[in-house]
């Protein structure tokens, strides 16, 4: 409860709570599943929307299903038991399909996972690798997987304290590199994309229209793409891309001329640049600039106007976190707490690299997830000890005491299955692949 005089300033993310409730409710229904009407009656946050129209609820339900699928939770939608009756569709989740399948990792593989986090410079990237490594270790069916053997490396739990970036240590990239690679991966190979790019020696960004072919690293990370405006292969340093690489809007694709549409279609279909060798392209680039050009650029900069140019004020924009990413973290948080028997706030902050406010919001979101059985008796997720409702109380009392946080799901099926990590998370999987 909030202290006297302090009003609640952190609230559950109801989109996350609702999607989490949907997954837990369908899991507890067993292989037979539930109809739409049953889902609407049993899932918390659907019941509270009982006054909304059927069409509005259908849109909400479709959005939640898409979010779950994006996180790796596959809902089965078999044919209607009575042809022509959509109300008889039953939605279910196969327990065998929920979570990462069991893997058998030997001691050497466990040690490699443990050390993989040090391949990246940056706490977020290291945390992403650590979460992915934990997810893989937790699925290992080998009872000896909790110890890496004679090597003496501890591989259980949330992992070692994340090390700050060390300039002397060779790494494959930074947090910014990983974030940009996520954007490129989200667009996908063979798909048209747009971004703002600043070339060496220039002061203004230019919009680039490209078709993504891949990414690689050689000293720096590069996006390799077909440049639609320059009609040829180009490489772009990711640290010179301003903002995010994003998919080209459909309207812009439709307005493109015939030549551009043809190139996009040929690359997307795999008829053009299908066997491109990213490593060879980067190796053949040569130096970015000749020494003469670099020296002339330095000389020109010092011979410029005496009055400094007017610079635009920088505005730091914080992108809004997509709901699938928030749900993915909440599912991982639940699995971490359920499988380990509990964890302390300090461990959770380190493992998931979240601020105190975000951790409080995530705990409240889990606490608001609930399901109603056939008898319409509601059961909500228990977070023990219950988190407070204000950041002030959370930071002044809850965090300093660092209590062991446990989670309880009252459904037998959901409590067992949701202790398994559902995915490696997108940045975690990408960082391991790299």
Q: Which helix (H) or strand (E) holds 265?
A: helix 258-268
> Does the pLDDT of residue 152 top 60, yes or no?
no
Residue 27: inside a domain: no
Residue 278 is predicted with a pLDDT of: 93
Pairing of strands 232-237, 241-247: unpaired
**Is 318 a residue whose pLDDT tops 70?**
no
Task: Give me the phi and psi of 381, to 5 degrees please.
Answer: -65, 130
Give the pLDDT confidence of 258-316 residue by residue, as tens digits: 999 999 999 999 999 999 999 999 988 766 656 676 677 777 767 766 566 666 665 65
Give the total number of structural domains in the chain: 1
Residue 142 lies in a domain: no
Could you count the other beta carbons within 10 Å of the beta carbon of residue 262? Answer: 12
Q: Is residue 254 part of a domain?
A: yes
Strand, coil or helix: 419: coil
* Percent of the chain residues topping a pLDDT of 70: 80
Quote the pLDDT of residue 397. 96
pLDDT band at residue 348 using 50, 70 and 90 as cut-offs:
very high
Instruction: Give the H/E segment covering residue 206.
Output: strand 206-218
Specify if 368 maps to a domain: no
Q: Span 208-226, mean pLDDT?
A: 94
Does 57 reside within a domain? no
User: Which pLDDT score is estimated for 129?
Assistant: 80
Domain that holds residue 224: 182-299
Residue 155 has pLDDT above 80, yes or no: no
Amino acid 313: pLDDT: 66
Give whole-number Cα distances, 415 to 38, 109, 246, 331, 406, in Å: 21, 29, 38, 12, 12
Domain annotation covers residue 176: no
Residue 145 has pLDDT above 50, yes or no: no
Decide which of 429 and 306 is more confident: 429
């Amino acid at each position: 409860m909030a202290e006297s005089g302090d009003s609640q300033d952190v609230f559950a993310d109801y989109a996350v709570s609702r999607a989490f409730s949907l997954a837990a409710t369908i899991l507890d229904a067993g292989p037979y599943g539930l109809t739409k009407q049953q889902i609407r009656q049993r899932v918390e946050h659907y019941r509270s929307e009982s006054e909304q129209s059927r069409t509005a609820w259908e849109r909400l339900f479709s959005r939640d299903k898409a979010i779950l699928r994006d996180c790796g939770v596959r809902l089965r939608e078999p044919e209607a038991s009575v042809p022509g009756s959509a109300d008889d569709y039953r939605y279910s989740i196969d327990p065998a399909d929920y979570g990462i399948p069991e893997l058998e990792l030997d001691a050497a593989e466990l040690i490699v996972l443990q050390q993989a986090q040090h391949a990246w410079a940056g706490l977020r990237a290291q945390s992403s690798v650590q979460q992915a490594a934990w997810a893989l270790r937790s699925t290992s069916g080998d009872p000896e997987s909790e110890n890496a053997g004679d090597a003496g490396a501890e591989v259980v739990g949330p992992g070692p304290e994340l090390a700050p970036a060390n300039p002397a240590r060779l790494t494959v990239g930074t947090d910014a590199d990983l974030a940009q690679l996520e954007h490129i991966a989200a667009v996908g190979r063979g798909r048209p994309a747009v971004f703002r790019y600043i070339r060496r020696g220039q002061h203004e960004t230019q919009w680039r229209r490209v078709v993504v072919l891949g990414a690689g690293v050689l000293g720096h990370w590069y996006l390799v793409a077909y440049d639609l405006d320059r009609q040829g292969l180009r490489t772009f340093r990711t640290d010179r891309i301003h903002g995010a690489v994003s998919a080209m809007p459909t309207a812009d694709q439709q307005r493109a001329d015939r030549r551009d549409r043809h190139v996009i279609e040929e690359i997307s279909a795999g008829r053009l640049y299908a066997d491109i060798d990213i490593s060879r392209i980067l190796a053949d680039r040569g130096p970015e600039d000749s020494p003469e050009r670099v020296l002339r650029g330095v000389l020109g900069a010092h011979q410029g106007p005496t009055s400094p140019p007017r610079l635009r004020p920088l505005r730091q924009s914080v992108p809004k976190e997509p709901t699938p990413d928030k749900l993915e973290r909440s599912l991982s948080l639940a699995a971490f707490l359920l499988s380990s028997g509990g964890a302390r706030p300090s461990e959770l902050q380190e493992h998931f690299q979240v601020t105190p406010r975000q951790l409080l919001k995530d705990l409240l979101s889990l606490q608001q997830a609930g399901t109603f059985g056939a008898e319409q008796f509601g059961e909500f997720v228990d977070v023990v000890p219950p988190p407070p409702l204000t950041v002030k109380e959370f930071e002044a009392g809850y965090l300093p005491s660092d209590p062991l946080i446990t989670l309880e799901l009252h459904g037998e099926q959901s409590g067992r299955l949701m202790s398994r990590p559902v995915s490696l998370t997108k940045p975690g999987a990408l960082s391991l692949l790299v």
